[in-house]
Each structure stands twice: as structure tokens, then as C-alpha cells.
Amino acid sequence: MTAPEDKSKNSPKGAASPGAAKDAPTLPPAKPPDGGTIPPTRSKDAPTIPPGQLKDVDTIPPRATGGQALYLRLMTEQLTGWDDPRAMLERALRENLFLLLAQRILPLSSGKPDPSCYEILLRLKQEEDSMLPPGGFFDVAESLGMMAKIDRWVVRAVLAWCAARQKENPAKPLPMMCVNVSTAALRSTSFLGAVREELQLAGVPPRVLCFEINERDVIEHPAAARALVAALKPLGCRFTLDAFGSVRVSFSHLNDLPVDFLKIDGVIIETMQQGPLGAATVKAINIVCKEVGIRTIAEFVETKKTLDKLREIGVDYVQGFGIARPELIGKIA
């Protein structure tokens, strides 16, 4: 919900990356091939609260200044051709102009509890139409305080896809879908209730959702992270600590945060190509995780050499362009 090289996350915590596959076909919003990408509209989805009536932290836009303000203005002009980005994003939410992509997370050995896993990535259809890099709208959405609403759209759309898949083939297990949680959604007073509502309406097992929380957010907002995990984990939802090691390699912030997976930051994985220190770091992280019952995921896996080394170390899952490129969610087998 980074910029990682192989991901296009649904928030500034990793959104703007080539992981959304520039060559992915455009999904017409009115007729998704999978029959479940477009979520139903919820009656409680009110328009974004006007700036003068802020009632929730997810609607409070951070103030951009200097170069950041200029960047946001230029990105907005490229995305919309006009100067009302809020209206553009509200329309995208209302008319389902976002595209869901999925990147496979591959188990490195047989018998894993979750053999079919995907990370959900988000693109704005207008980015493809305008030939812009993926994820540029995240900064605009964050500046407008709209990320929590976008995160809820993603949850709803993923659950709608799962419900359609379950109806089509009840005997086939649903894959685990990893959804990124933005900082705004994590701190929001309404996101938790929204997730509960969407789960109830969709009628699919909560265990299909695995929420990825960025390590920096866990460090900076520990109470909010604990509250989200404590509320949703008993329902069956799973959790991943994302970008582990991007701030520091420390397990102290996991003492009272019972996550199921730990995703080793891609920068650490990339250092495995440069010398023994990277592999030693990954090995140490993996040993600690095994000891406490947390499964490990390595991202940014680009080469067979890296893959072979991770398999030798005993990492549980891998993800990256060397494993699978992101594709439209409707193409999941």
C-alpha cells in the first residue's frame, strides 16, 4: 500500500515501480475479463470529506512544499491534463478506473501451507493511456489524503474477485492475496471497520487476505500496527512485515507484533550479488525467523544464482522479475 524495482504497490510505501508491467494489457473498466475485478459500490462510501470538514486522519492531506509541491503539480498535469486531481481520483474510485495486477510469490519447497500466493499491485488506467511510469498517482493521492479510500477500494476489488472465483469453482482453494496497507490507512480510524464490512459482504474466508505493513510504518506507528493486527488476525487475516531491513536489521519491533511473514527488503537481496555479506545477512534473518515461527519472503529475485542461493539458505518464498512478472488479476490460473 518503496521504489522497489519489481513492485507497484498500492501506496507510497513501494508503489511507483516497474512491477506493474508496462506491457500489461489495459483492462476495460466496464467489462473485466475475470468478471470480478470491479467491486460493487457500497452505500456507505461517501465522497471525500471537503478540506474544511476533516474528521479522520486518512483525510488529512500532508502539506507539500518546494520541490515536492512542484513535482505533484507536474505529475497531476500529466495524469489529468487539468488541475483537479481530487476529482480525477474520485472518478477513478467511482468508475473503477484502477487496474489490479498480481505478482506471484513462489514457495521454494513443496508442502508449504500457502502454495499459491500473490502480491496485489495497483495501476491507474490513465497511466497506461498517457504512457506514464506506474504508481505516479500515489504521491498525488497521498498529498490529498485519499490513500485510505484507495486502500479500501483495493480490498473490496480483491474480495470481489475472490468471491467470483469461489462461486465459479467452490472446490478450488483461493490463493492468498497480499494487500499493502498505506500509512494513511494504518492510522485511519475507519479503515479497520471498512475491512470488516468488506469481508462480511464478500462472504469469503478472511484468510485469503494477507496485509503487508511497511517496516518504517511499524517503527513510526507501532500502536496503530498492533491494533490492526490484533483486530484482524483473530478473524483469520494474515500479516507480512514488508521491507524488513530497509530501516535497520532489528527484530525489536516484532516482540509484540505477531506477523506471519517477513519480507526481506530487496536492497539486501541485491547485495547477495556483490559479496558474502548479503548472503550472510539473509541467512541470519532466516535463522531468527525460523526460530520464532515466521516465514520469510525474499523480493527482488532477478537471477538464477540468487534463487539458488536463497534455496540453499532455506528462505520460504521468493518474488521478483526472475520469478514472475505482474499480470492482470484475471489471468491468475
DSSP notation for 66-134: HHHHHHHHHHHHHHHSSS-HHHHHHHHHHHT-EEEEEEEEEESSTT-S--SEEEEEEEEHHHHHTTPPT
Per-residue pLDDT tens for 77-107? Answer: 665 554 688 888 999 999 999 999 999 999 9
| Predicted local distance difference test score (pLDDT) of residue 51 | 38
| Predicted local distance difference test score (pLDDT) of residue 26 | 36
> CA-to-CA distance for 264 and 244, rounded, in angstroms?
5
CB atoms within 10 A of CB 117: 23
Decide the pairing of beta strands 327-328 and 98-107: antiparallel
Return the closest-CA partner of residue 62 out of 150, 140, 149.
140
> CA-to-CA distance for 240 and 260, rounded, in angstroms?
6
pLDDT tier for residue 19 given thresholds of 50, 70 and 90: very low
Which residues lie below 8 Å from residue 38, measured CB to CB, with a gap of 6+? Answer: 29, 30, 32, 96, 157, 160
Rounded to 10°, the helix 85-95/66-80 angle is: 50
> At which residue does the C-alpha cell 526460530 appear?
291
Return the minimum-mean-pLDDT range out of 14-23, 110-119, 282-291, 321-330.
14-23
Higher pLDDT, 71 or 326: 326
- Give pTM, 2 decimals: 0.80
> CA-to-CA distance for 196 and 182, rounded, in angstroms?
17
Which DSSP symbol is given to 260? S
Per-residue pLDDT tens for 203-258? Answer: 999 999 999 999 999 999 999 999 999 999 999 999 999 999 998 889 998 999 99
**Residue 141 phi, psi (nearest 5):** -65, -40
**Is 156 a residue whose pLDDT tops 70?**
yes
| Predicted local distance difference test score (pLDDT) of residue 247 | 83
Higher pLDDT, 254 or 46: 254
Contact 318, 282 (CB under 8 A): no
Return the closest-CA partner of residue 295 out of 88, 108, 90.
108
Record the cell numbers describing residue 72, joined without a space.
Answer: 505533484
> CA-to-CA distance for 138 and 102, rounded, in angstroms?
18
- For the chain, list the domains and their CATH numbers: 18-26+45-331 (3.20.20.450)
Which DSSP symbol is given to 206? G
Record the cell numbers describing residue 150, joined without a space.
Answer: 484507495
DSSP assignments along 37-56, one per residue: SSPPPPTT-PPPPPGGG--S
